[in-house]
Structure 1
Amino acid sequence: MIVTPNPQRRSEKSRQAILSAALELCTEKGYGRVTMESIAARAGVSKKTIYRWWHSKGAVLLEAVIEALVSVTPFPDTGDLEADLRTHMVGAVRLLTSPPFGPAYTGILAEMYHDDSLARAVNDQLVGPRAEAARDRLRSAQKQGRLPMDADLDLAVEMLYGPLYYRNALRKPPHTVERHALLAEHVLRALGHNQNGL
């Protein structure tokens, strides 16, 4: 009896080669010039292999960005909410504004306006989970008495991260560490942040 390989089972070695190739090409050529053919050639895999796992180059690059973002920008909980938010935001901005992830992230944001499937993936896999992680950190602060229990956490997340996406969309330079600190301070003050807790 012949066992047919499961087409959904991904080789981790091939997956990493594809993600690395996509990021390298995006940095070298710019998002618009990257093709599935060039990714396949650089990674040493067939184009069919890539299409079996991802529907577009945007989906490939999105997976690479998410993987990096989750691994290097956790939401710390040191007890100092303002410092924790600043640490996270600075880490995220540094990752998303410099090679190899910056060019990929900028290209994904532009492409999602023309690719509904990519737009859904960005919201479902990147924005949604990261926003929930931020709300979790803010809920922890509520339990510690550092934020009022009636604070609007959805609005807080938008106030914290909206300016970062705005600057990226308009291709403005990223905020300095000092500006991130000021942003976090203003948002937390608006929410009624109590540094001393219970």
Structure 2
Amino acid sequence: MAESKAPDSTRRSEKSRRAIYAAALSLVGEAGYAKTTIEGIAARAGVGKQTIYRWWPSKAAVLLEAFLDLAEQAAEAADGDYEIPDTGDLAADLKGVLRATVDELNDQGFEAPLRALAAEGIVDARIGAQYVEKLLEPQAALYVRRLRAAQESGAVRDDIDPRTAMELLTGPLVHRWLLRTLPLTHAYADALVDYALNGLAPRH
């Protein structure tokens, strides 16, 4: 008689984890963060509530990990580690990445969980710190590396702080997205790059 194999607990746990990620993201998109509960996530994922509490301390922690996984999958779909291209044309490279950011922020699959995490990070210092460390800082580093390369090639002044320059590019984009005051468009992304690189003072 063939010996039966014991269930693979690692595979079972990974399947449950994936189901929880999907449930958290879909519920936040459908019902909003405030109406999303651990119980609701567990029910949709087909797991027990205690399974979630064994792995995460709160729904915010679940959502953060689910969103980071979503971002990682997007990066893998784009052939691995993402870097801002260096074609030799700094303005074109920056416009390309900001346009892609506009598309992402306008994508409902990203927008709802990202808004929830941004809001929760303000009231929950621990989630806020993780949000910055795991999501915002790696993205900021992409800009810093590209701007430093531009300094080395002479396209940007040596005395420019790349981190501050990055904030000039991305800060207004996030501000408009958070407040929903005006549409987030490719034209707006292009204008941010032009203003940041060319300045506001009259040219002589």
Q: Establish whether TM, by shorter chain, passes 0.5.
A: yes
Does residue 87 of structure 2 align to residue 78 of structure 1?
yes
TM value normalised by structure 1: 0.81
Q: 1:165 aligns with which of 165, 174, 178?
A: 174
- Cα deviation for residue 23 of structure 1 reads 1.1
Letter in 1 for 2:51: T
1:69–1:92 Cα contact (<8 Å) kept: no
Gap change, CA 1:91 and 1:53, over 3 Å in 2: farther
> How many Å separate the matches in 2 of 1:114 and 1:10?
34
TM value normalised by structure 2: 0.79
> How many Å separate the matches in 2 of 1:124 and 1:188?
27
> How many Å separate the matches in 1 of 2:155 and 2:21?
41
Gap change, CA 1:97 and 1:143, over 3 Å in 2: same
Q: 2:26 aligns with which of 17, 24, 27?
A: 24
> How many Å separate the matches in 1 of 2:85 and 2:13?
32
- Cα deviation for residue 151 of structure 1 reads 1.2
2:102–2:185 Cα contact (<8 Å) kept: no
1:81–1:141 Cα contact (<8 Å) kept: yes
Match of 1:87 in 2: 96
Match of 1:127 in 2: 136
> How many Å separate the matches in 1 of 2:140 and 2:11?
29
Match of 2:14 in 1: 12
- Which stretch shifts more, 87-96 or 113-122? 87-96
1:112–1:118 Cα contact (<8 Å) kept: yes
> How many Å separate the matches in 2 of 1:80 and 1:27?
37
Gap change, CA 1:76 and 1:118, over 3 Å in 2: same
- Cα deviation for residue 35 of structure 1 reads 0.8
Choose 1 or 2 for highest CA Rg: 2
- Cα deviation for residue 183 of structure 1 reads 0.5
> How many Å separate the matches in 2 of 1:138 and 1:91?
18
Identical residues among aligned pairs (%): 43
1:86–1:180 Cα contact (<8 Å) kept: yes
Gap change, CA 1:130 and 1:10, over 3 Å in 2: farther
- Cα deviation for residue 136 of structure 1 reads 0.9
Letter in 2 for 1:52: R
1:164–1:174 Cα contact (<8 Å) kept: no
- Cα deviation for residue 83 of structure 1 reads 1.7
1:47-98 deviation line (CA, Å, top 9, x unaligned): 2332333322222222333344453583222322222222212222222232
Unaligned 5+ runs, structure 2: 1-9, 200-204
- Cα deviation for residue 10 of structure 1 reads 9.3
1:45-84 mapped onto 2 (5 Å cutoff)? 45-69=47-71, 71-72=74-75, 74=82, 75-84=84-93
